[in-house]
Amino acid sequence: MEIKTGRNTLEDEKEDDQPLSPAARLFHAPEFNCNIVSVIGLKSKIDPDVIIRGSKQTFIRHPRFSSIMVSEGDNGQNQRWVRTNVVVEDHVIIPEIKPQNIENADAFLEDYVSDLMKIPLDTSRPLWELHLLDLKTSDAENVAVLKIHHSVGDGMSIMSLVLACMRKTSNPDELPSLPYQKRSSSGPALLPTGSRSDSRLLWLVKLLWTAVILGLNTVCDALEFLVTTLFVKDTDTPIKGDLRSKKSTQLRLVHRTVSFDDIKLIKNAMDMTVNDVVLGVTEAGLSRYLERRYGEENTKMKQKHLPKRIRLRSALLVNLRPTTGIQDLADMMAKGSKCRWGNWFGYVVFPFSIALRDDPLEHLERAHKTINRKKNSFGAMLTYIFCRIIVKSLGTKVAATIINRFVSNTTMTFSNMVGPVEEVSFYGHPITYFASSAYGHPHALTIHCQSYMNKMTITLIVDPTVISDPHRLCDDWEESLRNIKAAVYKRGSLRLWHYLKLLSDRVAWLLYKMAWLVYQML
**DSSP symbols for 42-73:** ESS---HHHHHHHHHHTGGGSGGGGEEEEEES
Confidence of residue 58 (pLDDT cuts 50, 70, 90): confident
Task: List the CATH code of the domain at 235-421+441-490.
Answer: 3.30.559.30
> Where exactly are the structural domains of the chain?
11-168, 235-421+441-490
Give the up-direction half-sphere exposure of residue 307: CA atoms within 13 A in the CB hemisphere: 12
The CATH H-level (homologous superfamily) assignment of domain 11-168 is Chloramphenicol acetyltransferase-like domain (3.30.559.10)
How many whole angstroms separate alpha carbon 280 and alpha carbon 273?
11
342-362 pLDDT, tens digit per residue, is 677 788 899 999 998 889 999
Percent of the chain with pLDDT over 90: 45
DSSP code at position 13: G
Confidence of residue 193 (pLDDT cuts 50, 70, 90): very low
Confidence of residue 493 (pLDDT cuts 50, 70, 90): low
| Distant-in-sequence, close-in-space partners of 197: CB < 8 Å, separation ≥ 6 | none
| Distant-in-sequence, close-in-space partners of 409: CB < 8 Å, separation ≥ 6 | 228, 229, 232, 233, 234
Q: Provide mean pLDDT across the span 299-304.
A: 50
Position 491 scores a pLDDT of 80
Position 173 scores a pLDDT of 84
The answer to whether 225 touches 349, Cβ cutoff 8 Å, is: yes
How many whole angstroms separate alpha carbon 42 and alpha carbon 166?
13
At CA 202, angle to CA 200 and CA 203, rounded to 5? 60
pLDDT of 440 above 60: yes
Confidence of residue 162 (pLDDT cuts 50, 70, 90): confident
Average pLDDT of the chain, as a whole number: 83
Please report, as a single letter, which amino acid is at residue 372.
Answer: N
429 is catalytic: no
In the set 28, 131, 149, 150, the catalytic residue is: 150
How many whole angstroms separate alpha carbon 294 and alpha carbon 306?
7
| Distant-in-sequence, close-in-space partners of 76: CB < 8 Å, separation ≥ 6 | none
393-416 pLDDT, tens digit per residue, is 888 888 889 988 999 999 999 998
Equal fold, 11-168 vs 235-421+441-490: yes
Count of other CB atoms within 10 angstroms of residue 143: 25
- The residue with greater pLDDT, 443 or 249, is 443
Distances (CA, A) of 464 to 109, 238, 311: 16, 12, 22
Q: Provide mean pLDDT across the span 51-70.
A: 87
DSSP code at position 140: B
pLDDT of 92 above 70: yes
Write the burial class of residue 19 (CB in 10 Å: 0-12 exposed, 13-18 middle, 19+ buried).
exposed
- The residue with greater pLDDT, 5 or 458, is 458
pLDDT of 500 above 80: no
Position 192 scores a pLDDT of 42
Q: Where would I find the H helices in 298-445? A: 326-335, 361-375, 379-394, 396-408
Position 160 scores a pLDDT of 80
304-333 pLDDT, tens digit per residue, is 577 888 999 999 888 776 655 555 555 555
Position 147 scores a pLDDT of 95
Distances (CA, A) of 248 to 144, 147, 166, 251, 510: 25, 19, 34, 7, 73
pLDDT of 8 above 50: no
How many whole angstroms separate alpha carbon 224 and alpha carbon 350?
10
141-160 pLDDT, tens digit per residue, is 999 999 999 988 887 778 88
Write the burial class of residue 457 (CB in 10 Å: 0-12 exposed, 13-18 middle, 19+ buried).
buried
Position 2 scores a pLDDT of 37
Confidence of residue 189 (pLDDT cuts 50, 70, 90): very low
How many whole angstroms separate alpha carbon 419 and alpha carbon 459?
14
